[in-house]
Structure 1
Amino acid sequence: MVSVGLLVRYEDGVLLGKRTNDPAKGYWFLPGGRVRKCETRREAVHRIAEEELGLSVEIVESLGAFEHIYDASDVEGVDTKHYLANGYVVDAVGGHLRTDDQHDAVQVFHSTPDPLHNNIRAYLDASETIVNWP
């Protein structure tokens, strides 16, 4: 599945959501989601920021593609889920922050939260515009 992951710079930190569903349930993770048919990745970034967070965003940097493979699937008879996630650094430029049904919390972090999903470290390492967390 093609998806986008949003590394949201917000209030001098990074905005993450605590997942309520699989994959990555219970972990702090990037907001993101699938790219719809005939939707560009950049269009998906803006749609997902609005739907998941209630925010308008400006794209700052493309981080490239990241592979996420999980031992869970929502498709009957399939045991795994494979994402090709396109990472973007974005700045929040408007809207009112809120959560959606995929996150039980959203929070701005200035250092590594616990538990941070292992996949997220690659986005932080790839970004030239985010201060590396310890």
Structure 2
Amino acid sequence: MTDSEKPIADDEWRTIVANVPLVSVDLVIEHDGGVLLGKRENEPVKGEWFVPGGTVFKNESRTEAVHRVAEAELGEPVVIDGCIGTYEHFYETAATGGVDSKHYLATAYSSHLDRNDPELNGDDQHGAFQVFRPPFDEFHPYIKRYLNDY
């Protein structure tokens, strides 16, 4: 395990989340004529259909983070098609104990799965994955913004 892959101690992570924006990547994955979303199992946005994503590690490029997150959350590799843009996300809730909000600087990447017949299973962040097609009116405003810009 490299230094960038070592977990941060809980008390240090709380301090980080409470005081600075988190640099992250989000994956807008085109699949089977729609966009692949996961049902969130934890905060923020627990219970919402949302794109896979995660924090960028120190000394890791954003595109490296996209590939790591895809493998970790989907169990499948992705091909990056382009960068949609960078967005600020503000959440009133956080999964981090003792912290009441989160602030992300999230770069969204358009991508597609490396193979047509993926075996997608839920993980600790997503209970299920599903492909959605327009219109996207019922989704979280951050997802609607990604899809409008996509």
Q: Indicate whether the TM-score tops 0.5.
A: yes
Structure 2: 5+ residue stretches without partners: 1-21
| Pairwise CA distance, 1:112 | 4.2
Alpha-carbon distance in structure 2 between the residues aligned to 1:80 and 1:37: 22
| Pairwise CA distance, 1:98 | 2.0
Name the TM-score, length of structure 1 as normaliser: 0.87
Structure 1: 5+ residue stretches without partners: 128-134
Alpha-carbon distance in structure 2 between the residues aligned to 1:44 and 1:112: 29
Alpha-carbon distance in structure 2 between the residues aligned to 1:121 and 1:19: 16
Range with bigger deviation, 95-104 or 51-60: 95-104
| Pairwise CA distance, 1:54 | 1.2
1:118 aligns with 2:149: no
Match of 1:50 in 2: 71
Name the TM-score, length of structure 2 as normaliser: 0.78
Match of 2:128 in 1: 105
Greater gyration radius: 2
Alpha-carbon distance in structure 1 between the residues aligned to 2:76 and 2:137: 24
Distance verdict in 2 for CA 1:86–1:13, change over 3 Å: same
Q: Any idea what SS the aligned residue of 2:77 has?
A: strand
Tell me which of 32, 36, 43 is aligned to 1:22.
43
1:37 aligns with 2:54: no
1 or 2, which has the higher helix percentage?
A: 2
CA RMSD, 1 decimal: 1.6
Is the 1:16–1:106 contact (alpha carbons within 8 Å) kept by the matching residues of 2?
A: yes
- CA shift digits 1:25-47 (9 cap, x unpaired): 01000000101111110000001
Is the 1:15–1:109 contact (alpha carbons within 8 Å) kept by the matching residues of 2?
A: yes
Distance verdict in 2 for CA 1:106–1:113, change over 3 Å: farther
